[in-house]
Amino acid sequence: MTDRIGRIFERKYRVTRLLGEGGMGSVYEAEHVFLTRKIAIKVMNPEFMDNREAVVRFFQEAQAASAIGHPNIVEIFDVGREEDGTAFIVMELLRGKCLDRVIEESAPLPPGHAVAIALQVLSALQAAHAKGIVHRDMKPENIFLVIDDKGRENAKILDFGVAKILSQEKDAGLTQAGTVLGTPRYMSPEQARGEKNLDGRSDIWAVGVILYEMLSGQLPYSGDSYNEILGGILLKEPAPLNQIAPRTPPGLVAIVGKAMAKDLTRRYASTVEMIRDLMAFYDPAESSISSGSARALRGSLPPPAGKRHPGRRILAGFLLVPIGCIAALAAVDHYRPDLVNRIPYAGPVRAEVSSVWGAFQSRLVFHVDADRPIAIPIADAALIEADAGVAWYDAGLDMPDAGVAAQDCAIEKAVPAAEVTVELTGLPKGARVVVDQKEAQTPVRLLRSMEPVIIEVSAEGYEPFTKAVLPDQDRVLSVELEEKAPDKKAVRPKRKRHR
């Protein structure tokens, strides 16, 4: 694919050299023509341009990686599709080695080094699973090791092209029951059986296999054919790790065995469980991970039981000060209004306090005096907003009224419209519009989504027009159809000769 060297994508990304080639696309080093920033650009191979499923999976890789946003996942900057249909993804340029090369050159790795890599990978997978994304193709080739200026290591997960987004119930129609996706040597038994309803435990199996390979220099399941490998995964047990890698601590052998349990009920239920067990074997002297990875790893683990997260105390403190001041002013205003009237600018201040206080009076109340109730809000509480909704966490005070309706604590959010409109301009008379292989009318109305759709426009006498559009907001798409070149082979009528 060296013919792309020098090409400029989206009028701003100039390709400078080829970095590597894969089955679906090639990765190049490129430079932003205005910012002179070095980036990597992954370009889809031409033979897949007309394959809708391949195009959707290609853009899904960028969508999944960008949605997670984790220091151990390659960062995505941009996506696009050229007028000739060429799809591309712009991402950070990484300097280092893929884990498969490190294993080939240095395995077996010291246990501390292998654990450090596995911890970073699990931290990234924990963030992905929390977003409802399962990678499904974890392998050393998709783990890139970057060494920073201080010699610390940062593992980056690549290629979410076959990731499963659990929130999309039918997986956009891309996966059918019985379809086997992934790399055979790292497949979980449920993947090998072609099961459709996979979850994060399939990624945990793959991390167990990668750990086995890093510690021993051998794969637990191998063979001369695809079916032989899958048969071993389903029916056989691998060689005991402590026999082929006797230097491996027994506790670490047990962790790898649990991660690779064929029975899902015996396997780690979550990445958090596996991280907790692996932390006992992490030795910074053998491999120091980058500061960003260390922070992310700490964030992957919830605080120990019985201990409150320090952020909740800080937030509670910030809430307590202004609310306490308002409560004090309201109490003085209630019992000694004559004192408030003596304060300069008391009128506007009192009005503001009254309006704010009125809002709090509709919240939690307890009575200091049966005859003269004073509304006091619960101040020591932290609001934690999660993807699944809004949850309230008690930070230490007894709730005076357990019957407060849940809707009193709800936060109204602006809900985006469920439908977006794509206005097509420049259509010739009689043009036919097709969206994802279904005929459509203009303007095109689509369900709001982060998954690109393919819009095709055809008209008699013109070359067909194809464009991938992300239906995340209302858009105007300019359609520029090129006229077909006259057919040179057309038979011309013979002229009559006049005598």
C-alpha closest to that of 469 among 453, 485, 449, 448: 453
Please write down the HEC assignment for all residues of the chain: CHHHCCCEECCCEEEEEEEEECCCEEEEEEEECCCCCEEEEEEECHHHCCCHHHHHHHHHHHHHHHHHCCCCECCEEEEEECCCCCEEEEECCCCEEEHHHHHHHHCCCCHHHHHHHHHHHHHHHHHHHHCCEECCCCCHHHEEEEECCCCCEEEEECCCCCCEECCCCCHHHCCCCCCCCCCHHHCCHHHHCCCCCCCCHHHHHHHHHHHHHHHHCCCCCCCCCHHHHHHHHHHCCCCCHHHHCCCCCHHHHHHHHHHCCCCCCCCCCCHHHHHHHHHHHCCCCCCCECHHHHHHHHHHCCCCCCCCCHHHHHHHHHHHHHHHHHHHHHHHHHHCHHHHHCCCCHHHHHHHHHHHHHHHHCCCCCCCCCCCCCCCCCCCEEEEEECCEEEEEECCCCCCCCCCCHHHHCCCCCCCCCEEEEEEECCCCCCEEEECCEEECCCEEEECCCCCEEEEEECCCECCEEEEECCCCCEEEECCCCECCCCCCCCCCCCCCCC
Active site residue 487: no
Q: Are strands 419-425 and 475-478 parallel, antiparallel or unpaired?
A: parallel
The rounded distance, in Å, linking the Cα atoms of 116 and 281 is 9
Amino acid at residue number 154: N
**What residues are paired with 29 via a beta bridge?**
17, 40
The catalytic residue among 78, 137, 203, 369 is: 137
End-to-end CA distance of the chain: 61
Residues 6+ apart with CB under 8 A from 117: 99, 109, 143, 145, 153, 155, 214, 287
The pair of three-digit structure tokens given for residue 381, joined into one six-digit string: 């509480």
In this structure, are residues 26 and 2 in contact, taking their beta carbons and an 8 Å threshold?
no
The pair of three-digit structure tokens given for residue 27, joined into one six-digit string: 């990765």
| Active site members | 137
